[in-house]
Structure 1
Amino acid sequence: MSYTTSLPWTLESLDLDSIDIERIRHNEDLFFLLCSASFVESGSDLYTHNLVDHFAGDTELQTWLSQHWEHEELQHGRALAAYVRKVWPEFDWDKGFKAFWDEYGAVCTSEQLEASRGLELAARCVVETGTASLYRALNDITDEPVLKQLTNHIKSDEVRHYKNFYQHFRRYREKEGFGRYKVFRAVLRRVNEIKSEDSDIALRHVFNQCYPQHVEDKAKYRQVTGRAQDLLRKNIPAEMTVKMLLKPLDLPARVQNAIEKPLARIAEKLFLQ
């Protein structure tokens, strides 16, 4: 079955031939961010299958995951990979992705998921917060028109995915009856996992492909990827990120209002080392 008609946008709608290559090709930091994101997004089918199994018996959520979410996430990967190939054709994307997949596929297991279905949905809200913030930042960073269009599409998808996971989270919170403290712990665990696994593995394999002579040079790795992370850190939409992270905690309005601004000042530390 084809899902093209149900996708809010398609790869074919992007005019890759009109990319202003000279406007972006020199930006190695942006290359690292785009390519690492394309690796993670292109591995979404494995994560989807883990989630579908985790929510066995919940037909509504399983159907959305397998027939909508997975296809949109994989399209993100295909579109980002196509963009990278067009602007940086000398980069062997397939070779880099295979190396990434060999490592990432081994750690992306169902054991990573929260035992509680509701808490796993809270954790999913964290992941969608991170991706929505990432693509909003990339959209702000670039002035290349096709990349601006692509990152806006993906950011909108990720915000919509967040809303869907959040609605299912509320359903399970009522069913399972867990408290705010457990939600907070699940949110914190997933933030730490994002920092230590997904983004680091992807960036490392982009680096290894670009700098094979420095594969074991940790200082060089930190120097090159640190610049990319600094670029992202400076453009993270702090207020949006904090609001999305706090929403599953369902805090009293006065408490949320009191902590939003202080947390916004350190929001970039939530997703970047």
Structure 2
Amino acid sequence: MAGQEAAHWKIEDLDFSRIAVDEVRQDENLFYLVASASFIESGSDLYTQNLIDFFRGDDEVTAWLAHHWEAEELQHGQALRAYIRHVWPEFDWETAYRGFLEEYATYCKVELLAPTRGLELSARCVVETGTATYYRAMARCTSEPVLRELASRIAADEVSHYKHFYRFFRRYRQQERLGRLRVLRTIGRRTLELKSEDADCAVRHAVRGRAPERAADTAYVQRLSGRLNSTIRTNLSAGTTLKMLMRPLELPARVQTVIQYPIRQFMDHVFLR
């Protein structure tokens, strides 16, 4: 663990002076992808405290959450905010984020977590799959070198987080004697929530900060969310995403092959909604 911490990248590793500003400044979709992600990542401390409370007594899990996961998630938010500051300096990030945080805090409640620790860890695997997919797609959807580097670094962090949550999940799966059906139900429910209230909340508040005259235009915000979702879907790596989603089920290879198609159809439904 110490070696991983020492090797972790820093914001200073990114050379923001290399940003091809003219290439991305007029890209509205890219702005909203980066801005909404920066809001959610910057609010990670709220969610971390919920998880720490939920896993209190399990020192391995709570220590990792407090000393590694939270710090890395907050660094993601800081780096994305720094990128926005360089490309869209006129955007009042602080004001928009305050509005987002006030609403977002209402979604971060312990009672909204899964009913058991093992099932919550399987849900966390889904969330980390979604975030890794999001940042991989962000890296693919632009040729701007600094954003590609930043998004790739964050995606790698999210995969690392997934591995930790999966390792914890395997321990609790044995303790709680979780059957595949219960895990599958949790994975399915959490996958449907990937486009959840917090993501919609982030987009709304980004619009409020960038184009306040459109903030009350529900149809516009829905169209914008649809475009962002289409960008992610077009650039996601379906095979990798499928493997990450299915891993907590620990199915035999033959069964995995059989159910890949229906799960892919399910994913298409999620990302097309």
For residues 142-181 of structure 1, give each alpha carbon's deviation from its aligned partner in whole angstroms, at most 9, with x where no partner exists: 1111111111110110001001100100000001101111
Instruction: Write the distance in 1 (CA, Å) between the matches of 2:167 and 2:44.
Output: 21
Mapping of residues 230-249 of structure 1, within 5 Å: 230-249=230-249
Unpaired runs of 5+ residues, structure 1, are none
Unpaired runs of 5+ residues, structure 2, are none
Change (3 A) 1:263 1:143: same
Amino acid across the alignment from 1:188: G
Q: Contact between 2:41 and 2:73, CA under 8 Å: does it hold in 1?
A: yes
Q: Contact between 2:242 and 2:263, CA under 8 Å: does it hold in 1?
A: yes
Mapping of residues 1-273 of structure 1, within 5 Å: 6=6, 8-264=8-264, 267-271=267-271, 273=273
Amino acid across the alignment from 1:58: D
> What's the secondary structure of 1:162's corresponding residue?
helix
Instruction: Write the distance in 1 (CA, Å) between the matches of 2:132 and 2:271.
Output: 12
> What's the secondary structure of 1:178's corresponding residue?
coil
Amino acid across the alignment from 2:56: A
Instruction: Write the distance in 2 (CA, Å) between the matches of 1:195 and 1:246.
Output: 19
Q: Contact between 2:230 and 2:271, CA under 8 Å: does it hold in 1?
A: no
Instruction: Write the distance in 1 (CA, Å) between the matches of 2:98 and 2:271.
Output: 25
Q: Contact between 2:229 and 2:271, CA under 8 Å: does it hold in 1?
A: no
Amino acid across the alignment from 1:219: A
Larger mean CA deviation between 263-272 and 30-39 belongs to 263-272
Instruction: Write the distance in 2 (CA, Å) between the matches of 1:271 and 1:227.
Output: 11
Q: How many residues are paired up?
A: 270
Q: Contact between 1:32 and 1:225, CA under 8 Å: does it hold in 2?
A: no
TM-score (norm 1): 0.94
For residues 242-270 of structure 1, give each alpha carbon's deviation from its aligned partner in whole angstroms, at most 9, with x where no partner exists: 11111111122111012224533553433
Q: Contact between 1:16 and 1:83, CA under 8 Å: does it hold in 2?
A: yes
Amino acid across the alignment from 1:164: H
Amino acid across the alignment from 1:29: N
Deviation, 1:102, is 0.4
Instruction: Write the distance in 1 (CA, Å) between the matches of 2:79 and 2:142.
Output: 16
Q: Contact between 1:52 and 1:62, CA under 8 Å: does it hold in 2?
A: yes
> What's the secondary structure of 1:267's corresponding residue?
helix
Instruction: Write the distance in 1 (CA, Å) between the matches of 2:272 and 2:204.
Output: 14
Deviation, 1:192, is 2.7
Amino acid across the alignment from 1:255: V
Instruction: Write the distance in 2 (CA, Å) between the matches of 1:83 and 1:196.
Output: 25
Change (3 A) 1:271 1:162: farther
Amino acid across the alignment from 1:200: D
TM-score (norm 2): 0.94
> What's the secondary structure of 1:142's corresponding residue?
coil
Change (3 A) 1:189 1:77: same
Q: Which runs of 4+ in 1 moved over 6 A?
A: none
For residues 197-231 of structure 1, give each alpha carbon's deviation from its aligned partner in whole angstroms, at most 9, with x where no partner exists: 12111111112222211222211212233222221
Larger mean CA deviation between 211-220 and 129-138 belongs to 211-220
Q: Contact between 1:7 and 1:72, CA under 8 Å: does it hold in 2?
A: no
